Amino acid sequence: MKGILRRTNWPTVVGLLLLACIAVLLLVPSVFPVRPPDQVQVGIEAGGTVHRPPFAPGTLGYPLGSDLAGRDMLSRLAVGGRYTLGISLLVVALRAAVAVPLGLFAGWNRNWLAAALMTLSTAVSSIPSLVLIVFLLGTLSQVFRISWRLPLYCAVIAAIGVPRLAHQVAELTAAVRSQPFVEGAIAVGATSGRIVKRHVLPVLRGDIAVALATEVAWVMVIMGQLAVFDVFIGDTTLVIVGNRPVTVEVIPEWSQMMGLNRHEVRLHPWIPGFPAILLGLTVTAVHFLAEGLRRTWSRRRAG
Amino acid sequence: MLWVVLVVSTVLLLLLPTGLERELHPPGVPVVTGWSGAAYGQGISDFLNGVAARDLPYVQDDGRVINFFPYLANSWWNSFRLFAAVVGIALPLGLVLGALFVARARWLRAAGSVLPILGQALPDFFLVMLAHTIAIWAYRVYGVRLWPVLAEPGVERGWLVPMIALVAFPAGYLARLTAASLDEVIHSDYIRTARAKGLPEWRVIGRHALASAWPRILSGLPTALNMTLSGLVVVERLTVWPGLARWLVPQESFLIDSGGFQITGIGPPIVALTGALFITWFVLVDALTRSIAIVGLKGGSALS
């Protein structure tokens, strides 16, 4: 028993458990009948009085409460998770699609590109990503059409991380390049492309997987931080509740729900609180998974 | 693998019941936007002239234009105080947590393994929102005021929540770096000799192992400090701390014709100023830590 406990990869277990909990939430609309996420409810009559939104969690048939426009938080959180995860995975895939080949090429050839990547990586790292992204988005959104806002958002976040990831891959590649099995492959006349594909990439697979898992977490953190500065993918709209106009988000994306409603934390803490907690837990889960992956890979490498 | 991620993310986005279609093709009046290099250059020029004349106009949330030059020093001082306090706590905390990783007691090792991951994993905005939510819940249910929750700028100021949110990452990062460095040297012969001589464990780790691990820990310092600075603006904004982030709100941008739609972004002058300061800071810290590391290696008391 002690041996099993000692061998258990705890970070992976914790990460998977957290992700399973989040997956259950994401599946709620597919399994149980819930209100549509964009159904506005400006008032509910119960007990002879008209209740105005936001409705507190566990009241009037809202398990997790409602937002300022009376929209069901449970269904919005469930749908919002798909946005947040979908966008963060897409951003990391874009980042990897550029950075991994670039890093492999630079690390293998060890030429000016590797030096340029290192310089660029240091330069980009020295300015907070948040400030750079907001500046680039603000500037580029004036150049491109408004309908390009979502692709632009993904592209800018992806681009900011490319130099760092490419530099990381280049360093790993350069380390593997000096290994005897690579020198052997060069000696028997294999082409560079074949060596990178057949010998270098399989060795780096684990390290790159760990780096990409960590990148997913970082992208979600950046999305949350951007939302705090009112930078998010969707529009906002004005809804009249009673006599009071309230500004709410259109798309139920977690970081946007948290950022736009952050001032509600004193009066209606569940509105920004639930999305923030879910976003935080997802980031934590991905970090734990990355750590678990790193340990698994180290053990495998150690034999 | 990459293709799997691409397909999964695309499917996730395509399966969305609302929003994406509307987001890609928003209804309403056609929006005409344009970019003007001349307007941008004029903005930078105005900014430099403003610095020379000590007069930097700033558009507030309520539309009023104020001169933010006099506030700049005060904001930087407030940000610096918070940053200095965070660094002062995070550095020793990171070293202690990292040292726990190589301790002999199993529960200490477990703490040294889990706490740094948590510190790195929990985002700053999550910690602030969680702290606010807990404080409000405690006040509503038990009538207890745990810590201040800010409503309006300057109404209340609490150190605890910003400190916790900001200390977590650098402490966790340095702890993991310390743990990795100590793990490499802890099985060395000189450590075994020190233990065999009967030295207490804290002295073996603190005096001998840490001395060899020091250069590698220092090499990670610029990254840790830079990430702390990034988090600083977010935490300041969420806790309404009267620091630098106050000026990093969306600014009027260089739009030729917005067609009724206002696209906002941080003003280039603010970014230029912040970027220059961050780069200067990064270069200084990087140079400082590298020189300390070189001196440490040359001294190399534990290795020699």
Nearest to A53 by CA among A39, A63, A67, A35: A67
- Reported pTM: 0.79
**Binding-face residues of B in 84-123 toward A, CB within 8 A:** 114, 117-118, 120-123
Alpha carbon of A211 to those of A149, A254, B56: distances in Å? 27, 24, 42
Alpha carbon of B213 to those of A188, B61, B62, B91: distances in Å? 41, 49, 52, 15
> Which pLDDT value is given to residue B93?
92
Q: Count the neighbouring beta carbons within 10 Å of the beta carbon of residue A138.
A: 22
Which chain B residues are Cβ-neighbours of A273 within 8 angstroms?
Answer: 129-130, 132-133
- What mean pLDDT do residues B83-112 have? 86
Residue B35, pLDDT > 60, answer: no
Least confident among A38-47, A93-102, B274-283: B274-283
Q: How far apart are CA B217 and CA B122, in angstroms?
A: 22
> Which pLDDT value is given to residue A109?
85
Q: Predicted confidence band at B272 (pLDDT cuts at 50, 70, 90)?
A: low
Residues A295, A298, A300, B3: is their CA dihedral positive or negative? Answer: positive
Least confident among A285-294, B35-44, B136-145, B213-222: B35-44
Nearest to A207 by CA among A257, A172, A231, A177: A172
> Which pLDDT value is given to residue A286?
92
> Which pLDDT value is given to residue A260?
86
What secondary structure letter does DSSP report for A46? Answer: E
Q: Predicted confidence band at A1 (pLDDT cuts at 50, 70, 90)?
A: low
Beta bridge mates, A239: A246
Q: How far apart are CA A38 and CA A234, in angstroms?
A: 13
How confident is the model over A157-188, as pLDDT tens digits? 999 888 888 888 888 888 888 888 888 888 88
**Binding-face residues of B in 176-195 toward A, CB within 8 A:** none
- What mean pLDDT do residues A113-127 have? 74
Whether A102 and A168 have beta carbons less than 8 Å apart is answered as: no
How confident is the model over B4-27, as pLDDT tens digits? 555 555 555 544 443 333 444 444
Q: Which pairing describes strands A236-241 and A244-249: parallel, antiparallel, or unpaired? A: antiparallel
> Which pLDDT value is given to residue B257?
35
Nearest to B182 by CA among B235, B127, B108: B108
For residue B133, give how far its alpha carbon lies from the nearest alpha carbon of chain A (Å).
6
SS3 content of chain A, % helix, strand, coil (to 5): 70, 5, 20
Nearest to B119 by CA among A284, A9, A130: A284
Q: Hey, are the CB atoms on A97 and B12 less than 8 Å from each other?
A: no
In this complex, the residue of A134, A276, A277 whose CB is nearest that of residue B266 is A134
A79 touches chain B (CB under 8 A): yes
Percentage of residues of chain B with pLDDT beyond 90: 4
A288 touches chain B (CB under 8 A): yes
Whether A92 and A212 have beta carbons less than 8 Å apart is answered as: yes
Which range of A195-209, B34-48, B95-109 scores highest in mean pLDDT? It is: A195-209
Nearest to A231 by CA among A127, A158, A150: A150
Residues B169, B172, B177, B178: is their CA dihedral positive or negative? Answer: positive
Q: Predicted confidence band at B226 (pLDDT cuts at 50, 70, 90)?
A: confident
Residue B118's Cβ-side half-sphere holds a number of Cα atoms within 13 Å equal to: 11
> Which pLDDT value is given to residue B232?
86
The rounded mean pLDDT for chain B is 71
Residue B301, pLDDT > 70, answer: no
Whether B5 and A85 have beta carbons less than 8 Å apart is answered as: no
How confident is the model over B280-292, as pLDDT tens digits? 666 666 666 666 6
What is the Cα gyration radius of chain B? 25
A278 touches chain B (CB under 8 A): no
Beta bridge mates, B265: B251
Tokens of B36: 């003007």
Q: How far apart are CA A234 and CA B22, in angstroms?
A: 9
* CA angle (B194, B196, B202) in 5-degree steps: 50
- What mean pLDDT do residues B186-196 have? 84
For residue B54, give how far its alpha carbon lies from the nearest alpha carbon of chain A (Å).
24
What is the Cα gyration radius of chain A? 23
How confident is the model over A259-303, as pLDDT tens digits? 888 888 878 888 998 999 899 999 999 989 988 888 888 777 766
> Which pLDDT value is given to residue B29?
41
Higher-confidence position of B12 and B194? B194
Higher-confidence position of B60 and A47? A47
B216 touches chain A (CB under 8 A): no
Percentage of residues of chain A with pLDDT beyond 70: 92
Q: How far apart are CA A160 and CA A164, in angstroms?
A: 8
> Which pLDDT value is given to residue B28?
47
Q: Hey, are the CB atoms on B265 and A138 less than 8 Å from each other?
A: yes
